Amino acid sequence: MNSERVKGMNKQYDVVVIGSGPAGYVAAIRCAQLGFSVACVEKWKNKKNKAVYGGTCLNVGCIPSKALLDSSHKFLEAQNDFDLHGISLQKLGIDVPKMLARKDKVVNQLTDGIKGLFAANKVEGIFGTAKIKGPNTVAISDCDGDNHDLEAKYIIIATGSKPIDIPPVPIDDKIIVDSTGALEFDEVPKRLGVIGAGVIGLELGSVWARLGSEVTVLEALDSFLPSVDREISRNVSKIFGKQGLNIKLASRVTGYSLGKGGKKQINIEYSDQDGEEKKTFDKVIVAVGRRPMTEDLFDDKLQIDLCDRGFVKVDDQCKTNISNIFAVGDVVRGPMLAHKGSEEGVMVAERLAGKKTQVNYDLIPSVIYTHPEIAWVGKNEEELKEEGVDFKTGSFPFAASGRALAANDSEGLVKIIADAQTDRILGCHIVGPSAADLLQQIVISMEFSASAEDIGLTMFSHPALSEAVHEAALAVNGHAIHIGNKKKR
C-alpha cells in the first residue's frame, strides 16, 4: 500500500480524498491508520483568505454556531437567572465583536488541529480545487494557480453541501444572509427575520434572540419540526414561544423591497392563511436547507450517477457506480450531519482494508442545540403507528428531576418508546438540559439492543440529569419512582 513518487510523473496515492470536512478528514485519517498512502484535497479559504481544513462543520457550521449559542446562553443566564442564585451584576452588556473573536479563536484552534492530525497520521494535505478526470485521476488546481494530476487507486468524494437560495429573497451578504453571514453580524439586529424554522433557523434565531433581537421565523410548512415526535415538538413550540421566538407557520415568502432606510431595512413579503402580509426587518437569515456540492467536480466523460437533487448516488456502503470511487457525508443521501459523514468515512476506509464495517443508518442521533436542547434517535410515535408496530412509552419531566431543579433548568422531558411485546427500545426523544449527552446513553443502549428494563435495572448516580433517562425507562413498564405511573405493574 505504499505511494510511489517518480520524478516528473504524477503523484500516486492509494487513496485521494476530496474535501476535508468531518466526512473527508476522518476518512483520510482512518485510511492512513490502516496503512494506505493518502492525500486529502481542500479548496476552502477562510475570511482572511487563508486555506484551511475542516469544511463547513469547523469553519461555518457546527463549531462556530455552538460557540455563539454558548456565548448567548451565558448572556441570557446572566440577565435572567443570576439574580435567582443571589448573584448581582452592576451592569450587563454584550460586546459582539469580542464574542465573534472568541468564536473565531475556537474555529482556528480546531482547523489548525486538523493540520496536526494530518501530520501525525501522515496524510498529505493539499490545498487546491479537485476535479475527477477519470476513475483513477484527480486534477488539482492548487492555491498558487498551478495545475497537476494525482493518480489514485481509490477516490473518496467528500465535497459536502452549501446553502440553498430562494429566488424571492436572494442573498446579498449585507442585509439578506445565509447561515455563514448569520455568524458574523457585528451588532445585534433589532428586528431579525429568519426564513425556515429548521435546525439552522432555530439555532441561529435563538442566538440573536437571546442577545435582544426581536425574531420572527417564517416557515413554509404548516407543521412545526415535522420529523420530531409530536409530543416533543408541541412542548418545544410552547418553550420557544415563551422565549420570544415568533414562529409563523404556513408562511410562504414571495418577495421583498428595501425599506425607507435604503439598504438598512427590508420588507419581506409573504403569504399566509390571512392573505398577503409584509414585515420589516433589519437583517434576514435564509435557512431553507442545503444542497450537495458537485459543481465542476466531474469531467464530462466520467459517467458518475447522480440522484435527482444532485446527490452522488451510492449504496449502503457508500460505493458509487464506479467501483473504485466512493462518496460520503452531505454529498450523499441521508441527514446532513457531521457525525453521519464521519461514520461513513470510517466505514469506507475500513472496507477498503477488507473489514466488514457498516453504518447503522437506523441509529443516527439528531440534536437541535437550542436551550433546552432537542434530541432524538430511532422511531417516534407517529412513525410506529404508521408502521403498525405495537409500542409502549414512558416519560419523565425534568420538573421532577432534583438535579434539573437545583440548576434552575427544568423545562422539558425524556420520552422512551419500547416494543410492547419484547420491551426493546425503539426510540428516545428528549427536550431538556443536556439532551444531546443524555440521548447518547440511549444510542449506546440501542446499539446493544437494550430493553427498557435493562436501563431500569442499571444504577444511575444521584443527583444527575441522567436520572430522568432512568425514570423514563422505568415508566415504560409502570415502575417510575419519582412520578405517578400511568400503568401499575
Q: Which does 3 bind (CB under 5 to 8 A by kind): ligand FAD, ligand NAD, none?
A: none
Contacts of 108 (CB under 8 A, 6+ apart): none
Secondary structure E strands in 145-292: 147-157, 161-163, 176-177, 191-195, 214-218, 246-248, 252-258, 266-272, 275-281, 283-286, 290-292
Out of 96, 220, 249, 389, name the contact with ligand NAD by CB under 6 A: 220
Question: What mask, x for binding ligand NAD by CB under 6 A, covers residues 363 to 402?
Answer: ----xxx---------------------------------
Cis peptide before 167 (omega within 30 of 0): no
3-state secondary structure of 187: coil
Sign of the torsion formed by the C-alpha atoms of 71, 178, 327 and 297: negative
Q: Which does 287 bind (CB under 5 to 8 A by kind): ligand FAD, ligand NAD, none?
A: ligand NAD
Q: Please name every residue paired with 169 in a beta bridge, in sequence order, or none if there are none.
A: 166
3-state secondary structure of 162: strand
Please, what is the minimum distance in Å from the beta carbon of residue 142 to ligand FAD?
Answer: 10
Q: Which is nearer to ligand FAD, 43 or 392 (CB)?
A: 43
Size of the site for ligand NAD (CB under 6 A): 25
Q: Which is nearer to ligand FAD, 288 or 452 (CB)?
A: 288
Please say whether the beta carbons of 220 and 250 come within 8 A. yes
How many helices (H) and strands (E) are present in the chain, helices listed first? 12, 21
Considering only the stretches 189-197, 310-318, 402-410, 461-469, report the one whose residues sit in contact with ligand NAD under the rule CB under 6 A: 189-197
> Counting contacts by CB under 6 A, is residue 196 touching ligand NAD?
yes
Q: Which is nearer to ligand FAD, 259 or 335 (CB)?
A: 335
How is the beta sheet containing 191-195 ordered, strand by strand? 176-177, 283-286, 191-195, 214-218, 246-248
Please, what is the minimum distance in Å from the beta carbon of residue 325 to ligand NAD?
Answer: 24
Block residue for cell numbers 482572511? 48
Please say whether the beta carbons of 202 and 368 come within 8 A. yes
Q: Which of residues 238-257 bind ligand NAD (CB under 6 A)?
A: 252-253
C-beta nearest to ligand NAD: residue: 198
Out of 131, 290, 379, 470, name the contact with ligand NAD by CB under 6 A: 290
Q: Which does 480 bind (CB under 5 to 8 A by kind): ligand FAD, ligand NAD, none?
A: none
Cα–Cα distance, 123 to 16 (Å, whole number):
10
Out of 42, 124, 219, 381, name the contact with ligand NAD by CB under 6 A: 219
> Counting contacts by CB under 6 A, is residue 201 touching ligand NAD?
yes
Burial class (CB in 10 A: 0-12, 13-18, 19+), 248: middle
Out of 68, 123, 126, 199, name the contact with ligand NAD by CB under 6 A: 199
Q: Which is nearer to ligand FAD, 331 or 425 (CB)?
A: 331
377, 439, 435, 443: which is closest to 411 by C-alpha? 435
Q: Which is nearer to ligand NAD, 16 or 69 (CB)?
A: 69
C-beta atoms surrounding 347 within 10 Å: 22
Cα–Cα distance, 30 to 352 (Å, whole number):
11
3-state secondary structure of 183: helix
Q: Which is nearer to ligand FAD, 217 or 474 (CB)?
A: 217
Q: Which does 195 bind (CB under 5 to 8 A by kind): ligand NAD, ligand FAD, none?
A: ligand NAD
> Counting contacts by CB under 6 A, is residue 181 touching ligand NAD?
no
Secondary structure E strands in 343-424: 366-368, 373-378, 391-397, 413-419
Catalytic residue among 371, 429, 462, 479: 462
Q: Which residues bind ligand FAD (CB under 6 A)?
A: 18-24, 41-44, 55-57, 61-62, 65, 129-130, 158-161, 179, 200, 293, 297, 329-331, 336-339, 341, 369
Please, what is the minimum distance in Å from the beta carbon of residue 205 to ligand NAD?
Answer: 10
- Residues in the chain, overall count: 489
3-state secondary structure of 339: helix
Q: Which is nearer to ligand NAD, 345 or 397 (CB)?
A: 345
Secondary structure of the chain: what % helix, strand, coil (to 5)? 35, 25, 40
Please, what is the minimum distance in Å from the beta carbon of residue 454 to ligand FAD?
Answer: 28
Q: Which does 198 bind (CB under 5 to 8 A by kind): ligand NAD, ligand FAD, none?
A: ligand NAD
Considering only the stretches 98-106, 149-157, 218-226, 438-446, report the one whose residues sit in contact with ligand NAD under the rule CB under 6 A: 218-226
> Counting contacts by CB under 6 A, is residue 203 touching ligand NAD?
yes
> Counting contacts by CB under 6 A, is residue 54 touching ligand NAD?
no
Strands 391-397 and 191-195: unpaired
Considering only the stretches 79-87, 197-205, 229-237, 418-426, report the one whose residues sit in contact with ligand NAD under the rule CB under 6 A: 197-205
C-beta atoms surrounding 334 within 10 Å: 17
Identity of the residue numbered 7: K
Please, what is the minimum distance in Å from the beta carbon of residue 481 to ligand FAD?
Answer: 34
Q: Is 462 one of the annotated active-site residues of the chain?
A: yes
381: cell is 410515535
Please, what is the minimum distance in Å from the beta carbon of residue 180 to ligand FAD?
Answer: 7
Please, what is the minimum distance in Å from the beta carbon of residue 429 to ligand NAD?
Answer: 15
Write out the residues near ligand NAD by the rule CB under 6 A: 166, 195-201, 203, 218-221, 252-253, 287-290, 335-337, 367-369
Q: Which residues are catalytic?
A: 462
